[in-house]
Amino acid sequence: MDFAFDETQDAVRDLAAQIFGGQSTVERVKEVEASDDRVDRKLWSELAKADLLGLVLPEVDGGGGLGMVELALVLREQGRVVAPAPLLPTVLAGLAIAEFGTAEQKAQWLPGVIAGDVVLSLALTDHPATPRVTAADGRLSGTSLSVPYGHLADRVLVATDSGVFLVDPAAADREVAEATDRSKVAHLTFAGTPAERLGDQGVESWLLDRYRTGLAAIQVGVCEAALDMTATYTSTRQQFGRPLSTNQGVALRAADAFIDIRAIDATLWQAAWRLDEGLDATKAAMVAKWWASDGGQRVVHATQHLHGGMGADIDYPVHRYFLWGKTIEQTLGGPGQQLATLGAELAEAT
pLDDT in tens, 206-215: 999 999 999 9
Q: Residue 23's pLDDT band (boundaries 50, 70, 90)? A: low
Answer for the pair 277, 315: CB distance below 8 angstroms, yes or no. no
pLDDT of residue 152: 95
pLDDT of residue 1: 53
Q: Are strands 196-198 and 238-239 parallel, antiparallel or unpaired?
A: unpaired
Q: Residue 127's pLDDT band (boundaries 50, 70, 90)? A: low
Checking phi first, is residue 134 left (phi over 0); if not, alpha (psi -120 to 50) or beta?
A: beta
Averaged pLDDT, 87-100: 98
Answer for the pair 121, 158: CB distance below 8 angstroms, yes or no. no
What pTM value is reported for the model?
0.95
pLDDT of residue 312: 85
CA torsion 300-183-18-293 (nearest 10°) is 30
Distance CA 155, CA 96 (A): 13
Q: Which of 49-58, 68-77, 265-274, 301-310 has the lowest mean pLDDT?
A: 301-310
Encode pLDDT of 258-308 as tens digits.
999 999 999 999 999 999 999 999 999 999 999 999 999 999 999 999 988
State the sign of the Cα–Cα–Cα–Cα dihedral 192, 198, 200, 206: negative
Pairwise pLDDT comparison (247 vs 146), residue with the higher score: 146
CA 266 to chain centre: 17
Please check the confidence at residue 45 and state whether its pLDDT lies above 90: yes
pLDDT of residue 123: 96
Distance CA 270, CA 217 (A): 11
- Tell me the three-class secondary structure of the chain, residue by residue: CCCCCCHHHHHHHHHHHHHHHHHCCHHHHHHHHCCCCCCCHHHHHHHHHCCCCCCCCCHHHCCCCCCHHHHHHHHHHHHHCCCCCCHHHHHHHHHHHHHHCCHHHHHHHHHHHHHCCCCEEEECCCCCCCCCEEEECCEEEEEEEEEECCCCCCEEEEEECCEEEEECHHHCEEEEEECCCCCEEEEEEEEEEECEEECCCCHHHHHHHHHHHHHHHHHHHHHHHHHHHHHHHHHHCEECCEEHHHCHHHHHHHHHHHHHHHHHHHHHHHHHHHHHCCCCCHHHHHHHHHHHHHHHHHHHHHHHHHCHHHHHCCCCCHHHHHHHHHHHHHCCCCHHHHHHHHHHHHHHHC
Domains of the chain: 7-89+109-115 (1.10.540.10), 120-198 (2.40.110.10), 203-349 (1.20.140.10)
Which residues have a Cβ under 8 Å from the Cβ of 47 and sit 6 or more positions away? 19, 53, 85, 87, 116
Averaged pLDDT, 112-123: 97
Encode pLDDT of 175-187 as tens digits.
999 999 999 999 9
CA angle, residues 186, 288, 291, in degrees to nearest 5: 90
Please check the confidence at residue 218 and state whether its pLDDT lies above 90: yes
Q: Which of 30-44, 52-66, 108-122 has the lowest mean pLDDT?
A: 30-44
pLDDT of residue 296: 97
CA 139 to chain centre: 28
Averaged pLDDT of the chain: 92
pLDDT of residue 131: 82
CA angle, residues 268, 324, 82, in degrees to nearest 5: 85
Distance CA 337, CA 136 (A): 29
